[in-house]
Amino acid sequence: MKTGASYWMFEGGLEASLPPAEAMKKAKYLGFDSIELCIASQGVLTHNVSQTECENIAATAENIGIEISGLASGESWTCSPTSNDPKIREQIAAFTQKAIRIARWLGTDAYLLVPGAVDVFFLPDAAVIPYDICYQRAVSFVSGLIPAAETCGVTLCIENVWNKFLLSPLEMRDFIDHFDSDRVGSYFDVGNILLTGYPDQWIKILQNRIKRVHIKDFKKSVGTVDGFVDLLEGDVDFKAVKEALHAISYDGYVTAELLPYQKGRPEITAAAMKQIFGCSFS
């Protein structure tokens, strides 16, 4: 496995103000093998970036000696694919079509996708979407992206997040299988799942559908967003996670996603990743 850092874990990452080259240098300095870049509608890397700009970023990564493991975005939280407003659904579909192409230009084959939400826990004024309607709209959204994903050779990696949707490994498995496309898979987050499930069970059920893995830690006794803590300070059984990943022959990227930025946190995260993954860490 190759260890990676999320662009969002560095100062200025969540604000989309940190130049990708600077983030890549920071990740390389800390010893990570890769970085997951992030795209937004505003900031230093947007859906309007040119192919030449993306190819320059990819060339910079190569010169630095770091891989780009994937492309992520938080855009579909505030511009939801399952919104009651059809204009918003059209807007996020157009954004994601461009993002898929940009992922390819950056030289990666994975795009992290949140396909919708019944509820957005950090947006109390957001509409609550009935589960069955959310499911129908999410299926329609993903279906519309598959032609672009297949053309570009980019996998839509659906992440388990706190959206009150796709709540069990069986449902996530069946949702992915519904599309019958090699370009729809799972972005499995070990910390996100701890409130309602066991990471090793999800890994065993999702099997080779897992294309990328996010590493976080979480204290179950807290039970809210404040329960996310630095690695090795929570309740994630990383030994069981590693054994489960080994059992399914997962040999891809494991990316630390520790948010928000705090002074010293990237360094703490790098040290913890080295302790967790040992010799797989550069």
Report pLDDT for 113: 98
Nearest partner of 101 among 58, 153, 36, 179, judged by Cα: 153
Determine whether 230 is exposed, middle or buried from the number of CB atoms within 10 Å of its CB (0-12, 13-18, 19+). middle
Report pLDDT for 83: 98
Report pLDDT for 281: 41
Report pLDDT for 279: 53
Amino acid in the structure at residue 74: G
pTM value is: 0.95
Report pLDDT for 278: 80
Backbone torsions φ then ψ of 111, nearest 5 degrees: -125, 120
Report pLDDT for 20: 98
Maximum Cα–Cα distance across the chain: 49
Percent of the chain with pLDDT over 70: 99
**Residue 210 and residue 241 in contact, taking contact as beta carbons nearer than 8 Å:** no
Rg (Cα) of the chain, in Å, rounded? Answer: 18
- Judged by DSSP in three states, 107 sits in coil
Q: Which residues of the chain have pLDDT under 70?
A: 279-282
Report pLDDT for 192: 97
For 113-125, the DSSP string reads E----S--TT-TT
Domains annotated on the chain, with CATH: 2-280 (3.20.20.150)
Report pLDDT for 243: 97
